[in-house]
A = this chain, B = another copy of it.
Amino acid sequence: MGKGDLKLLGTGVSPFVIRTRISLHLKSVEYEFIEEKLAAKSELLLKANPIHKKVPVLIHHDKPICESLIIVQYIDEVWSHGPSILPSDPYDRAVERFWAAYLDEKWFPSWKGVGLVHGEEAQKKIAGLKEGLVLLEEAFPKCSKGKPFFGGDQIGFLDISFGCFLGWARVGEIIHKVSLLDTTNTPHLAGWADRFYAHPAVKGVLPEPQALYDFLKPFIKPAPTN
C-alpha cells in the first residue's frame, strides 16, 4: 500500500498520537504523518473529526477513524498479518482493555495541572499518580506471565496504551524531583519502561524526557522562592 492511502493527523508530543504511531510501526505499515497545530487546526482535521476536533485521526482510503484506542484496534484488525496487538484470549483482551480504559479515564486525567502545583497540592497529586502505578505494578506479572511485556514476548495493547505516557511520567519526575517509576517501589514497571523505550517500534516516537520537558516548560509554573 502506498503512503498516500494512509494518513495520520497528529502532534509529536500527544501520548494518544504516540499510541497510534507505535501500533503502525509495530505492524511495519507506512503512512504519511501530518503534523497538526492545535492553535490552528486544519480543515482536514475539523472535517475528519467534527465531533471532538482532536488528534489523532487516522485516514485510511479517505475514511477517518478517531479516538486513539479505537484506532489501535482498527490497525490490529486491518493489518492482522503483522504481530498481534490484542491478545488472542478473550479474558486477556478484557483485562488489557480494562487497564487501558483505567489509564485514560482515571490515571492520565489526574495528571492535569501537574506542572501548575507545588507544595502540599503537588504531594497529593503525586501520591494519587503513584497509587495508580502500584495497581499497574500488581497487574504486570498477571498480564505478562513472566515475559518482558504486558503483552508477553512482544509489546501489545496495554504496553502501547500505558507506554505512550512514559514521557509525561518522566517529566513529572523532573518537575517535582520525585521518583515515579523506580526499582524500589515499582520494580516490574521500572524494568518494563526501560524495555519499552528500547523497543524498535517505540524508538524515535516516544519523546525523550528532556525534550518533552523543554517543550512543556512554558506551561510549567515555577516553584515559589521563599
Contacts and interface: CB of A to CB of B under 8 A. Distances in A.
B67 A101 contact: yes
Given A51-B135, A135-B51, A70 B98 contact: yes
A91 B65 contact: yes
Interface residues of A, number: 21
Nearest to A101: B67
B51 A73 contact: no
A219 interface: no
A60 B89 CA distance: 14
- In the A-B complex, the 7 residue pairs with the smallest Cβ-Cβ separation, listed nearest first, are A77-B90, A74-B94, A65-B94, A70-B97, A78-B90, A70-B94, A74-B90
21 contacts: A51-B102, A51-B135, A60-B91, A63-B91, A65-B91, A65-B94, A65-B98, A66-B98, A67-B97, A67-B98, A67-B101, A70-B94, A70-B97, A70-B101, A71-B94, A73-B93, A73-B97, A74-B90, A74-B94, A77-B93, A78-B90
